[in-house]
């Protein structure tokens, strides 16, 4: 049996082709875009099958687990810590060396103009599928740093939205997210599936969410950060960093870093590479400085086209983290997009990251002990 530290067999030989395909699709798409002290839960509760009732009962919650309404904190929907023992980890089939889907979205619009667009209905259906299958969202920064707080027996998923499009976030006259925006859909799904944590990462350019007024930009960014979302760096003007000078690369990244700090996002810890293309040298995507503003990212993300390795893996590519384009199984997406990969992970559960519910331990089957990076050795809980 192959270890999860290696790519699934279908991936390896075609990985380079897949990334080229994703890049090409992204370019075409952009050309048509207008602008602990808590009680420890029993293994039986963690392993219980999800009920089938409709909301208000959360159909994805393990039997006997109380539902929690989302809270507007940075840890909204996150479970209390548990103390995972090897026996507990075995019973919940924990595998924190497994693969994690990092899903990539672009515009969320009623009528798709490019293959990378998704409609609000399509987004809602995919999020409901994730909720029913036991996935719990975390941010890109939490994933990259290994701060994964997901209930025992469940699976982390990272929802990411590129370009800071107006379809991702807008507030209505009452100060609530517009229902058919990405944030609105996420919050609605979380209300109906309370175990589905309402969070995502929005990677923005120079006009976050299509807003030009600085006060409006600050209001949007602070609302999102205040409600547990991440707003981070996607460069100033979305260029191909691979053809820019070192100075221009650092300016593209540094300007957004400075803007987001000023708007109240804190210091962004993650970067999504435009078109998935890294600069030369690649290290400039992770660390650099422009006009007195420094950046030092915990994670740099690509544009596709497979699940990511665990952040605890010794070969975790912190400067080139894989993502999966959200889409059905058509055309080039027959093998490289979200429907294909979510089905693949269902069919290969031994390859998927399964949480032990204990953020202080890294629970894995003993055979995978050698896959974990040395910096995490004191946290390994092998069974």
Domain total for the chain? 1
Answer whether residue 46 is part of any domain.
no
- Residue ranges of E strands in 87-187: 102-105, 135-138, 155-162
Q: What is the CA radius of gyration of the chain?
A: 20
Q: Which residue has the tokens 């547990």?
A: 228
Distance between CA atoms of residues 111 and 113, nearest Å: 6
In a domain, 64, yes or no: no
- Look up the pTM and report it: 0.83
Tell me if 44 is assigned to some domain.
no
Distances, alpha carbon 188 to alpha carbons 85, 122, 135, in Å: 35, 14, 16
**Residue span of the structural domain in which 145 resides:** 12-32+84-382
Q: What CATH number does residue 206 fall under? A: 3.20.20.370
Residue at 174 is within a domain: yes
DSSP collapsed to 3 states, 242-266 = HHCCHHHHHHHHHHHHHHHHHHCCC
Q: Is residue 6 part of a domain?
A: no
pLDDT of residue 34: 37
Q: Which residue has the tokens 């690509």?
A: 302
Q: What angle do CA 209, 210, 215 make, to 5 degrees?
A: 80
Q: Give strand pairing partners of 100.
A: 308
Overall average pLDDT of the 324-343 stretch = 96
Alpha helices (H) along 62-181: 86-91, 120-133, 140-145
242: closest CA among 204, 272, 268, 273? Answer: 273
Pairing label, strands 287-290, 293-296: antiparallel
The per-residue pLDDT for range 16-49, each reduced to its tens digit, is 444 444 444 444 444 333 333 333 344 334 433 3
Spatial neighbors of 192 by CB under 8 A, at least 6 apart, are: 55, 56, 58
In-domain check, residue 370: yes
Over residues 276-327, the pLDDT tens digits come to 999 999 999 999 999 999 999 999 999 989 999 999 999 999 999 999 999 9
- Chain centre distance of CA 305: 14
73 within domain boundaries: no
- Chain segment 189-240, per-residue pLDDT in tens: 999 999 999 999 999 999 999 999 999 999 999 999 999 999 999 999 999 9
């Amino acid at each position: 049996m192959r270890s999860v530290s290696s790519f699934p067999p279908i991936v390896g030989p075609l990985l380079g082709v897949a990334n080229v395909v994703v890049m090409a699709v992204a370019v075409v798409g952009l050309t048509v875009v207008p602008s602990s002290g808590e009680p420890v839960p029993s293994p039986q509760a963690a392993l219980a099958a999800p009920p089938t009732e409709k909301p208000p009962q959360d159909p994805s919650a393990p039997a006997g687990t109380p539902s929690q309404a989302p809270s507007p904190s940075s840890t909204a929907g996150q479970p209390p810590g548990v103390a995972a023992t090897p026996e507990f980890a075995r019973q919940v089939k924990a595998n924190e060396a497994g693969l994690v889907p990092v899903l990539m979205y672009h515009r969320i619009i009623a009528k798709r103009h490019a293959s990378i667009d998704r409609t609000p209905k399509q987004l809602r259906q995919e999020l409901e599928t994730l909720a029913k299958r036991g996935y719990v969202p975390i941010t890109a920064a939490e994933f990259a740093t290994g701060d994964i707080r997901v209930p025992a027996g469940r699976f982390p998923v990272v929802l990411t939205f590129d370009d800071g499009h107006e379809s991702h976030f807008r507030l209505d006259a009452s100060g609530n997210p517009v229902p058919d925006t990405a944030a609105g859909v996420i919050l609605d799904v979380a209300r109906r599936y309370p175990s589905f944590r309402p969070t995502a990462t929005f990677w923005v350019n120079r006009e976050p969410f299509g807003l030009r007024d600085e006060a409006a930009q600050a209001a949007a960014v602070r609302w999102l950060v205040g409600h547990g979302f991440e707003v981070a760096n996607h460069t100033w003007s979305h260029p191909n960093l691979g053809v820019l000078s070192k100075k221009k690369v650092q300016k593209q990244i540094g300007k957004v870093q400075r803007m987001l700090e000023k708007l109240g996002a804190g210091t962004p810890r993650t970067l999504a590479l435009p078109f998935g293309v890294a600069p030369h040298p690649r290290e400039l995507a992770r660390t650099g400085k422009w006009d007195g503003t420094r950046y030092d990212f915990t994670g740099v993300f690509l544009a596709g086209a497979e699940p990511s390795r665990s952040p605890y893996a010794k070969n975790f590519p912190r400067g080139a983290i894989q993502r999966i384009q959200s889409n059905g199984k058509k055309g080039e997406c027959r093998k490289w997009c979200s429907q294909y990969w979510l089905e693949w992970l269902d069919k290969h559960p031994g390859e998927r990251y399964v949480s032990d519910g204990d953020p202080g331990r890294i629970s894995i089957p003993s055979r995978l002990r050698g896959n974990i990076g040395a910096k995490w050795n004191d946290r390994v809980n092998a069974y």
